[in-house]
Every structure is written in C-alpha cells, then in structure tokens.
C-alpha cells in the first residue's frame, strides 16, 4: 500500500527517523523491517509510523521531508484530528522517493 512518512533530512542528505532510533539511516528503495526501540516518554507502538496523506499538523517541518513509501503487513490506527489523518503501523516499509513538492501548514512552519 502507498503511504507517506515524514523523515529527517540530514545535512549529508541522508534520511532518518524523527524521534525513535533517530541515528538510523533510512535508504531509498530497500525493504526495511520494523524494530522495537522503547524510549522513555513515548508510548510503545512498534512499527513504521506512516500516514495515508502527507499531513501532520502537530509537527514542525524544519529539517524534514515527506517521502512516498510502500508498506506491508500493517494495522490502521485512528488518531486525533489534531495529529492529522489515519496512521498506519507497518511491519515492513520501503521508501520510494522523497517528495519535496508535498507541503502543508505545520505549527511553527
């Protein structure tokens, strides 16, 4: 299934997760298995967190980029409207491409 993921875009142009396991490098075009990395202050929700639409109004855009991804073996979670659209927790994810053309209003812009 096609979905979208907001990733950190580092100065060296590599991609990485925003909060959990944030030192990880996310390659384009490779299937990645989800891992569990418990972190104090965050609910344990193992899986790749992606959205059906590139909307995450509770996050700022600075240093981040939307990526088009493909996911497999997933569950659908409804989230509060303040956190955007439906979230998907996937056991497998592959980044298809960066989507710098996808922009919307975030808090803090």
For the segment 21-78, what is each residue's pLDDT rounded down to a tens digit? 999 999 999 999 999 999 899 888 889 999 998 988 888 888 999 999 999 999 998 8
Which helix (H) or strand (E) is 3 found in, with range?
strand 2-9
3-state secondary structure 64-103: EEEEEEEEEEEEEECCCHHHCCCEEEEEEEEEEEECCCCC
24 Cβ neighbours under 8 A, 6+ residues apart: 16, 17
Q: Where are the domains of the chain?
A: 2-98
Q: Dump pLDDT digits (tens) for 43-57.
A: 888 899 999 989 888
């Amino acid at each position: 299934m096609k979905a979208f993921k907001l990733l950190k875009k580092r100065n060296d142009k590599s991609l990485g997760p925003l909060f959990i396991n944030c030192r990880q490098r996310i390659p384009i075009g490779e299937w990645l298995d989800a891992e569990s990395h418990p972190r104090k202050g965050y609910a344990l929700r193992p899986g790749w967190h992606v959205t059906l639409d590139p909307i995450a109004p509770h996050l700022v855009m600075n240093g981040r980029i939307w990526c088009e991804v493909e996911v497999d073996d997933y569950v659908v979670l409804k989230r509060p409207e303040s956190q955007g659209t439906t979230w998907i927790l996937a056991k497998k994810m592959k980044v298809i491409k960066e989507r710098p053309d996808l922009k919307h209003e975030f808090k803090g812009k």
